[in-house]
Amino acid sequence: MINITTSDLMMVAGSFGLKMDYSVRFNLKLRDEINSEILHHAVEKTQKRYPYLSLRMFKNETDYYYESNPLPVVIHNTDSRVSLNTAESNYHIWSVSYIGDRLYLDISHGVTDGTAMYMVLATMLFYYCSERYGITDSIGIRTLEDEITPDETIDPYDLVPMLDSSKMPAVGLEPAFSLAEDTNLKPCEPLVCDIELPEKEFVDFCFANEASPGTMVCVLFARAIDSLYPQRARDIRNSYIVNARPMFGSKTHHNCVQTIRFAYLDNISELPLNKQCAAHRSITAEQSAPEYVHGAAAVSSSRIKMVKQMAPTIEAKKQAYAKMLDGGKRLFTYMVSYIGQWKQTQLSPYVLELWTHVPNANNLLTEIAAINGKIFLSVHCNFVEDDVIKAFLRQLDDNGIAYSIKSTEKVDNAYLPEPETK
């Protein structure tokens, strides 16, 4: 039995409580049509490099847990949604699909986050491109020649001392302006709109306004929502998700992120764009400082551990963690997540597109990827109307930023049903 660690536990149990498929799909367009035989070789080597991800999930009366899965990771010749942790995927929590020049990596968000998923994707692309195109440079890529260190499997949140519950601060944030509750937008099945930007032009625009690509997208969405709903009883607040490994000095594969909280208050909305961006970047720096992250981790990990102790059955855990996971919807108007620019540049020429599709845990969530001279925004929303997306595009238009809309479709991340009882 392999226990689910602290940083992953809420993601796993909470998502089952919410009946949400908590998985991520990377959708890549490669330079050429995919060679299936070479892809099989690449996936086989990737699975060997990440033995700690060869898992099958089970449940009993009290807990979810994993067992090692010796079966091969499945490669599907389709672009349809697949099911993880089922017979369709050999009961693995990740799988690969392809069709034509499209490559898809589907993986459970309950075992890893975007930064670690990029490492898996880079390994697979390296082995594919090495055989297909003769690539030999493996700098920055985890390969079979690299030692698998304990640091890859240790969850930093497991190591954080548990706080005395009487000394833990109460959750003090007021509910944010809600696109679901405070507007007339009609709910629908989760949709994703993929938008491509030229990287150099957008980055130059960001730097000229004291922003990074991630903080700029945060600010432009705040301005877009403000333009649609200027009269509000509650504040526009965003959650900006960043990698927390540098703050812990960790290489873990487990979920390891920091949530940057930013409120678009009246004193911010009245400022010019560059000052708004500077304010967001300042907050980002403050809330990314190691001491701040460690403090936030102590509180969040302690709450997760306390629920585990106090909820004796798996049903009780599902409901408690679901409440925690869903609670963020009331604290944030929208979310933005940016893993950062693709670092393995030796692979970049072979990737023409890289989209990130996720479960829509918030009513408006944007995933950002950057590779091969382009930025890819995957904007997830739960509304029939596209008012907010159009308002965001107007922000791009007003600032002279070129873009192209690639598609709007139903979210296609993998199904991840509740596991069987063993």
The DSSP result for 301-327, as a single string, is HHHHHHHHHH--SHHHHHHHHHHHHHH
Name the β-bridge partners of 75.
96
Containing 383, the helix (H) or strand (E) segment is strand 374-383
Pairing of strands 236-243, 334-338: parallel
Q: How far is 236 from 267, CA to CA, in rounded Å?
A: 12
pLDDT for 361 equals 64
In this structure, which amino acid lies at residue 103? L
pLDDT for 325 equals 87
Pairing of strands 55-59, 64-68: antiparallel
pLDDT per position as a tens digit, 63-116: 999 999 999 999 999 999 999 999 999 999 999 999 999 999 999 999 999 999
Tokens 């408006």 belong to 364
Joined tokens for residue 302: 């302690």
In this structure, which amino acid lies at residue 340? G
Confidence grade of residue 329 (pLDDT, cut at 50, 70, 90):
confident
Q: Residue 342 contacts by C-beta under 8 Å, 6 or more apart in sequence?
A: 118, 348, 351, 354, 369, 370, 371, 372
Residue 54 has pLDDT above 80, yes or no: yes
Q: Taking residues 154-166, report their average pLDDT.
A: 89
Q: How far is 24 from 81, CA to CA, in rounded Å?
A: 11
106-128 burial: b if 16+ Cβ within 10 Å, else e: bbbbbbbbbbbbbbbbbbbbbbb
pLDDT for 63 equals 95
Q: Taking residues 359-379, report their average pLDDT.
A: 93
